[in-house]
Amino acid sequence: MKSLTGKIALFVGGTLFGSAGLKLLGSKDARKVYSHVMAAALRCKDQVMRDVETVQEGCSDILADAKAINDAKASKEEALFIEDSAEKETEFIEDGAKA
Protein backbone atom coordinates (compact mmCIF):
# COMPACT_ATOMS: atom_id res chain seq x y z
CA MET A 1 0.00 0.00 0.00
CA LYS A 2 2.83 2.32 0.79
CA SER A 3 4.14 2.23 -2.76
CA LEU A 4 0.67 2.96 -4.19
CA THR A 5 0.31 5.96 -1.90
CA GLY A 6 3.77 7.15 -2.91
CA LYS A 7 2.91 6.79 -6.61
CA ILE A 8 -0.33 8.72 -6.14
CA ALA A 9 1.54 11.45 -4.25
CA LEU A 10 4.12 11.69 -7.05
CA PHE A 11 1.36 11.88 -9.66
CA VAL A 12 -0.48 14.63 -7.77
CA GLY A 13 2.78 16.50 -7.15
CA GLY A 14 3.74 16.24 -10.81
CA THR A 15 0.33 17.44 -11.91
CA LEU A 16 0.50 20.44 -9.57
CA PHE A 17 4.05 21.23 -10.65
CA GLY A 18 3.03 20.95 -14.31
CA SER A 19 0.02 23.19 -13.81
CA ALA A 20 2.11 25.79 -12.00
CA GLY A 21 4.70 25.55 -14.77
CA LEU A 22 2.06 26.13 -17.44
CA LYS A 23 0.72 29.13 -15.56
CA LEU A 24 4.25 30.50 -15.20
CA LEU A 25 5.11 29.92 -18.86
CA GLY A 26 1.85 31.52 -20.00
CA SER A 27 2.17 34.64 -17.86
CA LYS A 28 2.56 38.13 -19.36
CA ASP A 29 6.08 38.46 -17.95
CA ALA A 30 7.14 35.20 -19.53
CA ARG A 31 5.67 36.27 -22.88
CA LYS A 32 7.71 39.49 -22.70
CA VAL A 33 10.84 37.44 -22.11
CA TYR A 34 9.98 35.18 -25.07
CA SER A 35 9.40 38.22 -27.26
CA HIS A 36 12.77 39.75 -26.33
CA VAL A 37 14.57 36.46 -26.89
CA MET A 38 12.89 36.03 -30.29
CA ALA A 39 13.73 39.61 -31.28
CA ALA A 40 17.38 39.02 -30.36
CA ALA A 41 17.38 35.77 -32.38
CA LEU A 42 15.97 37.59 -35.41
CA ARG A 43 18.60 40.32 -35.13
CA CYS A 44 21.27 37.64 -34.89
CA LYS A 45 19.85 35.88 -37.97
CA ASP A 46 19.91 39.15 -39.93
CA GLN A 47 23.54 39.77 -39.01
CA VAL A 48 24.52 36.22 -39.94
CA MET A 49 22.79 36.61 -43.32
CA ARG A 50 24.69 39.87 -43.96
CA ASP A 51 27.94 38.12 -43.09
CA VAL A 52 27.10 35.19 -45.37
CA GLU A 53 26.36 37.58 -48.22
CA THR A 54 29.70 39.32 -47.69
CA VAL A 55 31.53 35.98 -47.76
CA GLN A 56 29.66 34.95 -50.93
CA GLU A 57 30.66 38.18 -52.66
CA GLY A 58 34.29 37.59 -51.70
CA CYS A 59 34.12 34.03 -53.00
CA SER A 60 32.62 35.25 -56.28
CA ASP A 61 35.51 37.69 -56.69
CA ILE A 62 38.04 34.95 -55.97
CA LEU A 63 36.34 32.63 -58.46
CA ALA A 64 36.38 35.32 -61.16
CA ASP A 65 40.09 35.97 -60.51
CA ALA A 66 40.88 32.25 -60.67
CA LYS A 67 39.02 31.90 -63.99
CA ALA A 68 40.91 34.88 -65.42
CA ILE A 69 44.24 33.35 -64.33
CA ASN A 70 43.33 30.01 -65.91
CA ASP A 71 42.20 31.70 -69.15
CA ALA A 72 45.45 33.68 -69.36
CA LYS A 73 47.50 30.53 -68.71
CA ALA A 74 45.53 28.56 -71.30
CA SER A 75 45.99 31.23 -73.99
CA LYS A 76 49.72 31.44 -73.20
CA GLU A 77 50.07 27.66 -73.48
CA GLU A 78 48.12 27.72 -76.74
CA ALA A 79 50.44 30.40 -78.14
CA LEU A 80 53.48 28.30 -77.16
CA PHE A 81 51.91 25.22 -78.77
CA ILE A 82 51.31 27.15 -82.00
CA GLU A 83 54.91 28.42 -81.96
CA ASP A 84 56.27 24.92 -81.39
CA SER A 85 54.10 23.54 -84.19
CA ALA A 86 55.26 26.26 -86.59
CA GLU A 87 58.92 25.58 -85.73
CA LYS A 88 58.50 21.84 -86.25
CA GLU A 89 56.74 22.43 -89.58
CA THR A 90 59.54 24.75 -90.70
CA GLU A 91 62.15 22.14 -89.70
CA PHE A 92 60.22 19.44 -91.55
CA ILE A 93 60.07 21.56 -94.71
CA GLU A 94 63.78 22.41 -94.49
CA ASP A 95 64.67 18.73 -93.96
CA GLY A 96 62.52 17.81 -96.97
CA ALA A 97 64.29 20.40 -99.16
CA LYS A 98 67.72 18.99 -98.22
CA ALA A 99 66.76 15.48 -99.09
State the Cα–Cα distance between residues 48 and 44, nearest whole angstrom: 6
The length of the chain is 99
Would you say the pTM of this structure is higher than 0.75? no
* Domain containing residue 91: 2-98
State the Cα–Cα distance between residues 59 and 74, nearest whole angstrom: 22
Number of independent structural domains in the chain: 1
Each residue of 38-67: pLDDT tens digit? 999 999 999 999 999 999 999 999 999 999
